[in-house]
Amino acid sequence: MKITDFKTFVVGNPPPHYGGKYFIFVKLTTDSGISGYGEVYSVPFHPKTAAVMVDDICERYLVGWDPFKIERLWRIVYSSGFTQRPDTSIMGILSGVEAACWDIVGKALDKPVYELLGGQVHERLRSYSYLYPKQGEGEEVYGGPDLAAERAAEYVERGFTAVKFDPVGPYTAFDPRQLSQESLDRSERFVKALREAVGTRADLLFGTHGQMTTSGAIRLARRLEPYDPLWLEEPTPPERPEEMARVARQTTIPIATGERLATKYEFARVLENQAASILQMALGRVGGLLEGKKIAGMAEAHYAQIAPHLYCGPIEGAVNVQLSACSPNFLILESIQDWGGFHAEILKTPMRWEEGYVIPPSAPGIGVELDEEVAERHPYEGRELHLDMLDRPL
């Protein structure tokens, strides 16, 4: 079997844009007529530029390649242009084409990918979602703790046993910073209100995006400890896990990190420094499914757990499900609410979500198929990137 063709889709995610402004999908097709899909997460260029980069890698390395030879392909693409380091651009592209190869392999063998990576361990996968505004509410859900608490209680009534939120404030290109007293107070009031609203029915996941200095993160953690969050996410920037480890040593709250990391090499530094006990690899960036499985194995040896990150489209979400289903140290899976809306519309068969849990599909490959007609009807025409940081200090 050889790969003979490829196609890239840059899809605009309609309002309210949950999961990002756009998604980048890649499709590989073989000489036997089997196609596989993958997703490239948040390359730091405009998606049309990213699509050209995806096409270059596919033309250079994928056409004529045996999709079963995934480990060898990984090393060749990782070394493209004599890089051999965790560059998030090449790793995002590699993640997408690697997942598409696994999709082809699973379809060729008529097995879900999780059965090819050790076999299914979890029959259902606990999930959480960010608190998103209702249609027409804008960002008011983070305007004050009362509305956020009300929304959290609604999510719990729908079946979620964990909710995530980020009341610290914007992240900027000039972070990390020392949080103001106003920001510290707001964060504590949010956690207190949400804990009172959900009681012990749900875990609270405190999201941040590396906004804080080490000392600032420790100050925040001490404010949050009485409310027992399940985790404090990425309290300091990703470059120096040694600093994040200082935060971990000063708090009883588990530290989670990983959405901006790529490859086993960067996650190894996290584990070696005891910087986090919950790893949040984004499988559209980290290097793909096999790399994710290796990271999960390293984490298991450190008694750490995995909670795959998702602020992306449903193809990456489906890949996350495959890894989670076969990983003994799986903790919880990020969902975009209950996988409805455009995340359902763009798939031929939507993800199956039941009372707070994702049910791993039994279909071969990654278990979902992109509806290409829907994808073609929603091209991304904007100029903005997937996410942007403020261009000024706070």
CB 259 within 8 A of CB 282: yes
Q: Using CB atoms within 10 Å of the CB of residue 172, give its burial: 0 to 12 exposed, 13 to 18 middle, 19+ buried.
A: middle
Q: Is 302 a catalytic residue?
A: no
Confidence bin at 137 (pLDDT 50/70/90):
low
pLDDT at position 133 is: 83
pLDDT at position 144 is: 86
Catalytic residue among 46, 122, 209, 302: 209
pTM exceeding 0.85: yes
pLDDT over 90 percentage in the chain: 95
pLDDT at 300 over 70: yes
pLDDT at position 143 is: 77
At 180 the three-state DSSP class reads coil
Confidence bin at 270 (pLDDT 50/70/90):
very high
Going from N- to C-terminal start, the domains of the chain cover: 3-110, 115-366
pLDDT at 282 over 60: yes
pLDDT at 139 over 70: no
pLDDT at position 65 is: 98
Calpha distance 342→390 (Å, rounded) = 27
pLDDT at position 138 is: 61
CB 283 within 8 A of CB 319: yes
pLDDT at 188 over 90: yes
Average pLDDT, integer, range 175-194? 97
Calpha distance 318→100 (Å, rounded) = 12
295: number of Cβ within 10 Å: 29
Catalytic residue among 46, 122, 309, 386: 309
Average pLDDT, integer, range 274-292? 98
pLDDT at 255 over 80: yes
* Matching fold, domains 3-110 and 115-366: no
Residue of 2 and 16 predicted with greater confidence = 2
Average pLDDT, integer, range 102-120? 98
Backbone angles phi, psi at 72, to 5 degrees: -65, -45
Q: Is 209 a catalytic residue?
A: yes
CB 6 within 8 A of CB 61: no
Q: Using CB atoms within 10 Å of the CB of residue 394, give its burial: 0 to 12 exposed, 13 to 18 middle, 19+ buried.
A: middle
The angle formed by the CA atoms of residues 211, 214 and 216, to the nearest 5 degrees, is 65
CB 169 within 8 A of CB 390: no
pLDDT digits (tens, 9 = 90+) for 342-379: 999 999 999 999 999 999 999 999 999 999 999 999 99
Average pLDDT, integer, range 325-341? 97
pLDDT digits (tens, 9 = 90+) for 68-79: 999 999 999 999
pLDDT at 136 over 60: no
Backbone angles phi, psi at 345, to 5 degrees: -60, -35
- 115-366 — its CATH code? 3.20.20.120
Could you tell me the two tokens for 16? 């309210």
Backbone angles phi, psi at 58, to 5 degrees: -65, -45
Could you tell me the two tokens for 93? 């592209």
Calpha distance 23→20 (Å, rounded) = 7
CATH topology of domain 3-110: Enolase-like; domain 1 (3.30.390)
CB 394 within 8 A of CB 170: yes
Average pLDDT, integer, range 37-56? 96
